[in-house]
A = this chain, B = another copy of it.
Amino acid sequence: MAEDGTLTRVTHTDVREPTCELREILDRVGDKWSMLVLHLLAAGPRRYSELHRAIDGISPRMLTLTLRSLERDGLVSRSVTPTSPPRVDYTLTAVGETLQPPVHALIEWAQVHRDYVSKSREHYDIAERGGQAL
């Protein structure tokens, strides 16, 4: 995510293939939790604690960072209700909703091909080496 600054990596003007743009989105959606959060929010607004419980392995820190990042990119909106115990709801923005189809496509792919991938891994690990998991 270090756009420029120290290294400017010349950019070769060789952008026949959208490598740069691709990297940007992959960085956006390819972190450990973003897609998961996006997916959960697809079902409607959720509170911070709901997300926290739903995701199970996430630390408050990462949940907050993920949500802030999504908010910064305009994909999620945060609304605070200053009641006695504060209440914060996160909702997909209109643009955030448009990310649903791609996200969903990926999730479906995963469900359909999970077994295949597992088998492939086993086969590869047994065959090529002695179990030298890459």
The answer to whether B18 touches A26 (Cβ under 8 A) is no
Residues from chain B with Cβ under 8 Å of A56 in the complex: 12, 14, 19
Answer yes or no: A47 CB below 8 A from chain B CBs. no
Number of interface residues of A (CB under 8 A): 61
The answer to whether B22 touches A114 (Cβ under 8 A) is no
Q: Do A120 and B14 contact each other (CB < 8 Å), given the known contacts A24-B114, A105-B105?
A: no
Answer yes or no: A110 CB below 8 A from chain B CBs. yes
A7-36 residues with Cβ-Cβ distance < 8 A to B are 9, 12, 14, 17-19, 21-26, 28-32, 35-36
The answer to whether B107 touches A99 (Cβ under 8 A) is no
Residues from chain B with Cβ under 8 Å of A61 in the complex: none
